[in-house]
Amino acid sequence: MLDEPVVNFTQSVADDSIKKNAECQYQSGLSPKIRRISMGKCCKWCGRLVGTYDYATVRNTGNDVFRRHEHCRCTVEFITNGKKQNVHMKKWKRNKGGTIEEWEMKKIYTKSIKQEKVSYQDSFGKKIDKQIAQNKSYRQLIKTKYHQGTNIAKKAIRKYFSEDTIAETHFTGIPHFSAKENKLYLNIGYDSFDIYRGNGAQFFHEIGHYIDYNAGNISQNNEFSKLLNDDFFNYLTNIERKNNVSSKIAEQILEEELMQDGEIFKYKHGVSDIIDGITKGRIVGSASHSINNPVYWNHKGNIEREAFAHMYESCYNKEKAKSMSEYFPNAYKKFKKILKEAVE
């Protein structure tokens, strides 16, 4: 039960500490190297990045070697003087194979599963207990985040979440909501330790899709679609005016803004993906559907569906909600109105 969550977690790590430590070594006159490794059959975009690089050649901010798309399982290693650093435990090991994230991850796993316990007896909790019966720590994670959600978001999940919503909890492909089957396919090992988007983000994002579909495809709203585009245009225009630059340069500034790593990226993950959709891949931040599937945004309604799911997910994280309000103030208000109407 332990190995799979650990593997999924380590494959999702993109810790900014790698770049910081490599930069320190570089400034000290050493010659550190960065190694990017793919796991299994990776996509073409990741495939061309696999290899070992002199840090000096990839140290510029936003270099693709350090970037990753949604569900990316590549790992990045920092190597110097025949050793690798475990960026989480701050300990050094001989370079004898394996990735830097694997050295002492079991300790991190053990610490991470000690979630704050929440006691409740509502309908959603009872259904979750039945559908994820074999993984107590993940149930507790979802329950904890559930109680951090807005009242409308919790009311929606109680109304639409059924006795058999979840089809699989250890799905080996990309986690998703299947409209054809009206089921969720989850990878709870990955979702338990997702420092890329935040623990539990996968679950609530896919639940957003599930609610959207079962409430009658409520994301397919003309006003919601228009406000998404209007808010994006207004945000971009403000960058142009503030910096006195052309729209092309403003887009470059925005793209760099959406490439930030660490905790900041967690909160802007959804925003990055929505903007990727609105621009059809022209502005690609650290989160993007178009990298893996260039035609994804060509399918009618996908921008609105993903925006709805990202916004629903943000209802369980105040910082994500703050980011949504910053970039899409009017569309986010409309989303809340649509969700409220769906539960009343």
What single letter denotes the amino acid at residue 98? G
How many C-beta neighbours within 10 Å does residue 286 have?
25
**Cβ–Cβ < 8 Å for 146, 169:** no
Count H helices and E strands in the chain, helices first.
16, 8
CB 51 within 8 A of CB 75: no
Q: Are residues 274 and 296 in the same domain?
A: yes
- pTM for the whole structure: 0.69
Residue owning tokens 């979630």: 115
Q: Are residues 121 and 185 in the same domain?
A: yes
Domain boundary, last residue among 214, 230, 249: 214
Q: What is the pLDDT of residue 196?
A: 72
Tally of domains within the chain: 3
Angstrom distances, CA of residue 59 to CA of 55, 225, 335: 6, 38, 40
Q: Where a domain ends, among 111, 131, 164?
A: 111
In this structure, the answer to whether residues 150 and 253 fall within a common structural domain is no
Pair (273, 322) in one structural domain: yes
State the pLDDT at residue 113.
Answer: 41
CA dist 303 and 136 (Å) reads 35
pLDDT at 81: 52
Q: Are 40 and 52 in contact (CB under 8 A)?
A: no
Query: Does 338 lie in the same domain as 228?
Result: yes
Residues 241 and 266 in one domain: yes
**H/E element holding 92?**
strand 91-94
Specify the 3-state DSSP secondary structure of 322: helix
125 and 98 co-located in one domain = no
pLDDT score recorded for residue 26: 58
For 209, the domain range is 116-214
Q: Which of 79, 111, 143 is the last residue of a domain?
A: 111
| Mean pLDDT of each 10-residue bin along the chain, 344 residues long | 39 49 59 68 72 75 67 66 42 43 38 44 82 86 92 95 92 90 93 82 96 98 98 97 95 87 75 94 85 88 97 96 97 98 94
CA–CA separation, 69 vs 330, rounded Å? 27
| Consecutive H or E run containing 110 | helix 105-112
Are 10 and 83 found together in one domain? yes
Q: Helices 262-278 and 222-243: crossing angle, nearest 10°? A: 120
143 and 166 assigned to the same domain: yes
Contact, 205 vs 310, CB < 8 A? yes
- 30's tokens: 């050493």
Q: Do 168 and 194 reside in the same domain of the chain?
A: yes
Neighbours of 324 (CB within 10 A): 26
Same domain, 175 and 202: yes
Considering the domain architecture, whether residues 99 and 164 belong to the same structural domain is answered as: no
